[in-house]
Amino acid sequence: MPLLDDKKRARNFYRYFSLIYDYINPVFYSKEMRKKVVEMAEIDENSLVLEVGSGTGYTTEEIAKLVSEERIFCVDITPEQIEKARKRLKANFIIGDAENLPFRDRTFDSTISAGSIEYWPNPAKGIEEMARVTKKGGKVVVLAPRRPDNPIVRKFAEKIMLFPSTEQCIEWFKKAGLRDIDFVEMGPYKFWKKLVVIASGRV
């Protein structure tokens, strides 16, 4: 089991990582990648949007370019991350668990998770929860990291977090009952073209 594949350990890790998160995150998760995630969610000004594992609000900022902040709901397990996010945005930030979302069925038009699934003990359950709270016809979008190519880096990284393959993400989407499944593999730089997979499906 990866080190952070445990809610308590992940929460404690991000308690301290949140201090430098905003400086490190853009290196691996570029604005172009963030824009693509939100684009695949098919958001418009009337959408009610949920972000799962919102961290300090990096992806939330992109969502807020398309819809008013009061129509954005964000769930994260780490209070320190949410505290930082609240300083930059007026969205609805809630402490919660991705695998047990505190919302009724068919609440949101679009549901997004970027850079969080790798810390979920049960990713399939998390995606099922995202699908559950999304309205019929709505989009579910997940960004997941690819396994590092360098064998030394890969061995270290796999001890910390999950690296679901593109095929695994698609399988989880199918299991959750999603249709019209699509994906994009991309990275932040020309020399690093496949760092993540962004998968989307319709409820």
| In the chain, where the domains are located | 7-202
pLDDT at 195: 81
Look at residue 25 and tell me whether its pLDDT is greater than 90.
no
User: Using only C-alpha atoms, what is the Rg of the chain?
Assistant: 15
Q: Which two tokens stand for residue 71?
A: 């129509």
More confident residue, 165 or 143: 143
pLDDT reported for residue 181: 98
Nearest to 62 by CA among 87, 34, 83, 89: 34
Higher per-residue confidence, 62 vs 194: 62
Q: What is the percent of the chain with per-residue pLDDT over 90, rounded to a whole number?
A: 64
pTM here is 0.85
Residue 26 tokens, joined: 């853009």
Looking at every residue in the chain, the average pLDDT score rounds to 85
| Superfamily of 7-202 according to CATH | Vaccinia Virus protein VP39 (3.40.50.150)
Compare 89 and 165 and report the one with higher pLDDT.
89
Give the pLDDT mean for 17-38: 74
pLDDT value for 2: 44
Q: Which whole number is the average pLDDT over 83-98?
A: 95
Average pLDDT over residues 66-70: 98
Q: Which of 58-67, 116-125, 188-197 has the highest mean pLDDT?
A: 58-67
Phi, psi of 202 (to 5 degrees): -110, 140
* pLDDT for the residue 108: 98
Contact, 52 vs 37, CB < 8 A? no
Where would I find the H helices in the chain?
7-17, 21-28, 31-40, 58-63, 79-88, 123-132, 151-158, 166-175
pLDDT of 17: 53
Q: Cα–Cα distance between 201 and 40 in angstroms, integer?
A: 9
CA 176 to chain centroid, in Å, comes to 16
The C-alpha angle 37, 73, 71, rounded to 5 degrees, equals 90
Range in 13-17, 30-34, 51-55, 64-68 with the lowest mean pLDDT: 13-17
Distance of alpha carbon 193 from alpha carbon 137, whole angstroms = 31
Is the CB of residue 43 less than 8 Å from the CB of residue 109?
A: yes
